[in-house]
Amino acid sequence: MSEMRVIGIRVEQPQNQPVLLLREASGERYLPIWIGQAEATAIVLEQEGVTPIRPLTHDLIKILITELGHTLKEVRIVDLQEGTFYADLVFDGDLRVSARPSDSVAIALRVGCPIYAEEPVLAEAGLVMPDEREDEVEKFKEFLESVSPDDFKATDS
């Protein structure tokens, strides 16, 4: 089992499908998980420190856990079957609740608990990307963020 860090949400084109990207804390493998738009928004809002006026679903779950006197100890991505990932929320007393990884990560970010992936899941779906390529991808993303469609319009010469 490897501890994972949330790299962030990427959007796969042309379908505009959000991808949750996790990386091993002490390793080179990345774990991409395709998720829904609502969960992607919940993860991004938390990563950016945005607090909604009223609690969203994952905020409410955090409140419920606390008010019921429990602690979410960790999130585990435990299985991958036919392209679908499965996760467990692991509470105090080793109580486990099965959940979607996207919801689990959104909650883990809010409560500050670690996220783990089981080795068979990483062996099947983990990707190794060389650091040089990661740097190139980041530079390209920075370039894309700095340009607008107007920059590519033809000008009269």
For residues 46 and 110, the answer to whether their CB atoms sit within 8 Å is: yes
Look-up of token digits 């299985």 = 79
Domain ranges of the chain: 2-146
pLDDT in tens, 79-121: 999 889 999 999 998 899 999 999 999 999 999 999 999 999 9
pLDDT in tens, 30-43: 999 899 898 998 98
- Indicate whether this model's pTM tops 0.85: no
User: 2-146: which CATH number, 3.30.390.30, 3.40.50.920, 3.30.830.10, 3.10.690.10?
Assistant: 3.10.690.10
Residue 83 structure tokens = 């392209």
Mean pLDDT of the chain: 85
Integer-rounded Cα Rg, in Å, for the chain is 18
